[in-house]
A and B are shown apart, each in its own frame.
Chain A
């Protein structure tokens, strides 16, 4: 029996409601569906969690409070209280990525954070936004960001391009990190799942492995959302506290 493995099939975007405006395809896809669910779920948790403010929180309320305090403390620790102004953005970003990662782990679901264009769009928004915040708060002084302190002028010729480059690289590392982790994890799950399905009784072994990998993926899902968010905070810190 030939092994039929299509581990990457899970990332195919399928239109659910085909929509076209002229030549532009704006179909409502499985990816869009999962994004909608992620946004709705995150909204529900926060809205229901804050509807009745009990002194002893219930399940939903403590979920909401946990997430809120987690991001609030993260901003305080990395940016300082000044950064709380950007709390809504950071919180939204975190919840969206977290729910995207988590929903992707449900069988027959779809992992939109495993699409480079999705993660890159988010990283690009962070990059452009943070740069604009830096320019808005510091004006031309922001450019001093790329000039290392106390370095001879001769070396600056070399160092300024390096600084500039390492700044430009940020959105790429930010997006590829999340995308690659999701892609690799889910591909691995699918490959072992494929083995388990096709080799009969021996398949218990890859199945067991799949269970373990699944737990690992749960960890990665949360951790990658955390990493994306904390890096956003650190970039924000750079832009706000220039010195």
Chain B
């Protein structure tokens, strides 16, 4: 089976599945993830965000300073931006807003307008 055929048959299968699930698109079908494993993985995921964000930002700031000779302005600015970015990442992960940079679409996803854009 070549790829196009495979994709066509997958699509057909998806449609049949969606019908069987009562018209919901496949993404929205109720799914029960194993809660403990997910929670543990989630916790391990969050830990680093804050620290790394600050370290990486300060490093970028240091590089900008070296490049433009603006010591230490960029480093100071990047330090605070780094804190903000780290907190923002953690907040986004915790509230589960789909992990999206741009932070939109929490609602849009829930209503299920599953637009295919390409």
- A residues within 8 Å of B by Cβ? 76-77, 80-82, 84, 137-138, 144-150, 161-163, 165-169, 172-173, 176-177, 180-181, 223-224, 226-227, 230-231, 234-235, 237-238, 241-243
Q: Which 4 A-B pairs have the closest CB atoms?
A: A149-B104, A165-B85, A166-B85, A234-B99
Quick one: closest B residue to A243, CB to CB?
B105
Say how far B79's CB is from chain A's closest CB, in angstroms. Answer: 11
Known: A237-B99, A238-B99. A80 touches B26 (CB 8 A): yes
Known: A80-B26, A80-B114, A223-B41. A167 touches B99 (CB 8 A): no
Q: A81-B26, A165-B53, A165-B82 are in contact. List 5 more A-B contacts (CB 8 A).
A: A145-B102, A149-B103, A149-B104, A150-B104, A237-B98
**A and B contact pairs by CB, cutoff 8 A, 24 listed:** A76-B26, A76-B27, A80-B26, A82-B116, A144-B102, A148-B103, A150-B104, A161-B81, A162-B84, A162-B88, A163-B102, A165-B81, A177-B45, A177-B48, A180-B48, A223-B37, A223-B40, A224-B44, A227-B45, A234-B99, A237-B99, A242-B117, A243-B104, A243-B117
**How many angstroms from the CA of A169 to the CA of B84 in the assembled complex?**
12
Most buried by B among A76, A144, A234, A241: A241
Say how far A74's CB is from chain B's closest CB, in angstroms. Answer: 10
**Are B104 and A148 in contact, CB atoms less than 8 angstroms apart?**
yes
Say how far B16's CB is from chain A's closest CB, in angstroms. Answer: 13
Cβ of B115: which chain A residues have Cβ within 8 Å of it?
243
- B residues within 8 Å of A by Cβ? 10, 14, 26-27, 31, 33, 37, 40-41, 44-45, 47-49, 52-53, 55-57, 60, 78, 81-82, 84-86, 88-89, 98-105, 108, 114-118
